[in-house]
Structure 1
Amino acid sequence: MPNQKPASAKLLSCPGCEKKNFQTIPALRMHFIAKGHSASRCRKCQKTFNDVLSLIQHYQKYTISTDPPALVQVSAKAKLDNAPSPARKQEKAEVVVATAHSAETLKEVSKDPKSSTTRPSRVPLPAVEDYVVVEHPVVEAATLPSSILPISLTPEEQEAVSRSLSTRCHPPKRLLAEGYIIEGGTVKNKEFVCNSCVPLNQFRDTPRPSEQSAPKRRAVAIDCEMVEIANHRQALAFLSAIDALTGEVLISRLVQPSERVLHWRTRHSGVTASLMSKAVASGEAVKNWKTARQMLWALVDSETVLIGHSLKHDLQVLGMRHPKIVDSAILTAEAVFPDPLVTGTMTRLWSLKKLAKAFLGADIQVGKNGHAALEDAFASRDIVVQCIRRPAQLEEWAKRMRVEEKDRQIAREIQRKLKAAQKLEGDKKPELGRADRKGTRRKQTKPNLKVVGRAKGLAQT
């Protein structure tokens, strides 16, 4: 019997703006949310819906045929001639289309019984493009900065790491001591939090799990890049999110700042005005920080473990309060400074760059084009994974850092004493006269007693 394969499917269309260039439902859904389209009614037939996914699935019948794709006869010889090379096999990997729904504004139940029972379909993986959300399995090295080679976990290792992450989440007292926003009443300033653009009254808790929504990710690593706006505040400009267990890239998007940018901080953020303008004009940039937060909530809930480095800054520009956090900066510092009472801030937090070198042997943040959010997200994720999988390496590093920190404290104490001695010596010096301060008269010096004595002796003789 001749081999058969289905013909390629047509592109999907957006029911909000009728844009027709989407290869996967997740990419179309992210575009729909980012643009702020209404999910309540179909533009063609005026039928009402309760969620985005049902509307998207319903709308496709107006743009693509509902009949099954035609089968193309393929001979065995042609199949061998057209067999993909090993380099192209990853490009043609297949993924199951996710059916994650927003936990805050979207409902899972659809009024259309056909659309509500539609099973996930398998679609070919499109090529990864900058700033376009594409869900795919293990990330190809070509899509990441050359300095990062993500740690690959087997299914058994994923289960073990997931269990360990749940026990490594920092207690609320530790998060509060390190400056995290964990509840609405923890900050005195009710308008603006620290240097973030998000007012405190717009912070929201990550939605809880819902029986009506699809299961969310168990662990996600995120990193944000910020730009400077008025009053030295920070605004979200780029968001990256990866599945911390599988290594899948979930989000890698520019985010349009909510206010006028005063400084792009390209050296650190990697974002320029021209890059943002092009992304906004093409519709590839996320509309604002609220939409970016909504995109993240489509993937996580309050039971998801969030991983990051100094994650409090990322959560502040997203306006999020999250209960389960593993911060690579806190995790490593706690190994150096064990504090069972959790009474204050850590004595020292090590930078992501130094931790990546120590635990991964990777040199990150070395380019002239600024930090890469995806690179930082993978680095923080891999550092946490290494700390869990290799506790002996963590303890050995912690011992070295304790010795180094003692040397630093001794050096600081010596420097403090030197400054105190110099200050005391300066206080003992006689105050100069007014004329001396103005420089109109030469500075008076103490007489040399030996010279004076000899002069007196010569005068007497």
Structure 2
Amino acid sequence: MSFKSEPALKVHKVDKHGLGGKKLDLNGRDVHMLSQHARQQLSNAGVLRPSPGPFRVRSRGSQATPPPAAIPSVGGPEEMAQANKICEQMMRLVLQTDVFIRHDGKMKCSGIEWTRISVAKQITIVDMFDGICNLPKKLQYSEYVPPPLTFNKDYQCRYPVADFKLSPEQNDAQPALKIVAIYCSKVVLENNNLEAVKIAAVDVVTCRILMNHLVCTDSKNLVKDWCTESTGLNGYQDIEAARQDGYKVLKGWTAARTAMWNFIDRDTIIVGHSVRSDLDCLRMIHGRAVDVAKTFENAAKKELLPKQQLSLESLCRDLPAIKLTTHPSFGRDALQNAFAARELGLWMLKYPEKLEKTAKAKAAEFRRFAPVSQA
């Protein structure tokens, strides 16, 4: 074959013998260009590398980035099918963050790797969480989940009693999820009540992201403190700007609660950090819950602990060794915190002896250095 010019020859070499001017990597990223028969031959010869790559849910406006290097696949067909399914479900949320569902037992979201549970173990995990609920079984369907003793003084909110409702009863026509991790970022109103301005929820069993939305409280409510460092908000104008940028905004706590009830019922175990505060600002009566802060407190034999030791950041740092991040402009990521509560719950189930040892050590340390008035 002849070419009339040197540039034409170069174009031919690129088109016929390479990709973007580079040699095709038929053992790696360009393996999809081979026929099934050719791939099978390479695989039989031990030449073809497995390259599953992660499932990815791309954020709005994000640019495609190359996938990480090939990783060993420890998931079977069931894990692959489940990853595909939750990817499809999460795409509908139009998430503002990148999500990678990997095949090595991890899920990357908010820049942090979170544990996935194999399909074979997902049935048992429900019973395990059931065993560490903070209320006795007979009280779980009628009472409020109790707050951690350390945070008792912070529970000074006075919401109208008539606003509160029990979670929905079981509906066989629309089965709820078994375990859901939640987190709410809140502002302080003039009457000192807390109202949610961000809400996130995650299916603990599958890692499926259920909610990651802003919540616009009634503009008639005067906000005393927007808690900008954690919420990333300075006023109602920020919520409106986010809505115009494509973020999902729920209209008040009633809409947030209704959205939550699409996934849960009275039998759902809700996992969170200081979860009573989150449930109160949603006006939910739900006693079937695991508060990871209270679970840590119980492991310390209900001894007094400093608030800093029981913060979500400290627990994540001291137990699963995860460093949570705060964005300088957008504050704390509610979705990150929901995943963090989930991760803490899984860690506490897996390492009960380490949990008790660490909790007792923290309590003993506090006794040594606490002021006499607190001892």
TM over 0.5, shorter chain: yes
Matched, 1:222 2:182: yes
1:307 and 2:256 correspond = no
> Structure 2: which amino acid aligns with 1:145?
S
Paired residues of 2:57 and 2:99 also in contact (CA < 8 A): no
Q: 2:316 corresponds to which residue?
A: 356
Alpha carbons 1:95, 1:136 under 8 Å: kept: no
Q: Distance in 2 between matches of 1:214 and 1:315?
A: 22
Matched position secondary structure for 2:123? helix
Q: Judge conservation of contact 2:125–2:205 (CA < 8 Å) in 1.
A: yes
What code does the residue aligned with 1:269 have?
T
Indicate how the Cα distance of structure 1 residues 202 and 131 shifts in structure 2: closer, same or farther if over 3 A, else same.
Answer: farther
In the alignment, which residue of structure 2 is the partner of 1:278? 241
- Answering whether residue 89 of structure 2 is matched by residue 129 of structure 1, we say no
1:392-446 CA distance string (max 9 Å, x none): 211221232232133134xx22x789xxxxxxxxxxxxxxxxxxxxxxxxxxxxx
**Deviation at residue 261 of structure 1 after TM alignment:** 3.5
Provide closer, same or farther for how the CA distance between residues 230 and 279 of structure 1 changes in structure 2, counting only shifts above 3 A. same
Question: Is the Cα contact below 8 Å between 2:99 and 2:110 reproduced in 1?
Answer: no
* Correspondence for 1:80: 33
Equivalent position of 1:236 in the other structure: 196
Residue type at the aligned position of 2:228: T
Distance 2:317 2:99 in 1: 29
Going from structure 1 to structure 2, the CA distance change for 1:125 and 1:163 (only over 3 Å counts) comes to closer
- Residue 256 of structure 1: how far off its partner (Å): 1.0
Kept in 1: contact 2:275–2:291 (CA 8 A): yes
- Bigger share in strand: 2
TM-score, length-scaled by structure 1:
0.55
CA drift of 1:153 comes to 1.3
* Residue of structure 2 in register with 1:209 after alignment: 170
Note if 1:403 corresponds to 2:364: yes
Report deviation, 1:272: 4.2
Distance 1:135 1:302 in 2: 30
- Within a 5 Å distance, the mapping from 1:19-418 to structure 2 comes to 80=33, 87=53, 89-91=55-57, 94-95=84-85, 126=91, 129-130=94-95, 140-141=107-108, 144-146=109-111, 148-171=112-135, 178-179=146-147, 194-195=156-157, 198-211=159-172, 213-258=173-218, 259-273=221-235, 274-281=237-244, 284-337=248-301, 347-348=304-305, 350-369=310-329, 370-409=331-370, 412-413=371-372
Question: Is this contact kept in 2: 1:223–1:308, CA < 8 A?
Answer: yes
CA-to-aligned-CA distance 1:4-23 (integer Å, 9 cap, x gap): xxxxxxxxxxxxxxxxxxxx
**Residue type at the aligned position of 1:284:** K
Change (3 A) 1:163 1:80: same
Are the counterparts in 1 of residues 279 and 285 from structure 2 also a CA contact under 8 Å?
yes
The separation in 2 between residues aligned to 1:245 and 1:124, in whole angstroms, is 15
Flag the 1:159–1:269 CA change in 2: closer, same or farther, 3 A: same
CA contact (8 A) 1:169 1:324 kept: yes
* 1:326 counterpart SS class: strand
Identity %: 22
- Check 1:334–1:79 CA distance in 2 against 1; reply closer, same or farther (3 A cut): closer
User: Does the CA contact (< 8 Å) of 2:196 and 2:215 recur in 1?
Assistant: yes
Aligned partner of residue 361 in structure 1, secondary structure: coil
| CA-based RMSD | 3.6
Is the 8 Å Cα contact of residues 95 and 137 (structure 1) preserved in structure 2?
A: no
**Conserved? CA contact 2:56–2:99, under 8 Å:** no
The amino acid that maps onto 2:200 is: S
> What is the CA deviation profile of residues 231-257 of structure 1, one whole-angstrom value per residue up to 9, with x for unaligned ones?
232211111000111111110001111
Taking CA–CA contacts closer than 8 Å with sequence separation of 6 or more, which of the two structures ends up with the larger relative contact order?
Answer: 2
The alpha-carbon deviation at position 136 of structure 1 amounts to 10
Closer/same/farther in 2, CA of residues 136 and 293 from structure 1, 3 Å limit: farther
Distance across 2 between alignment mates of 1:135 and 1:207: 30
Give the Å deviation of 1:157: 2.8
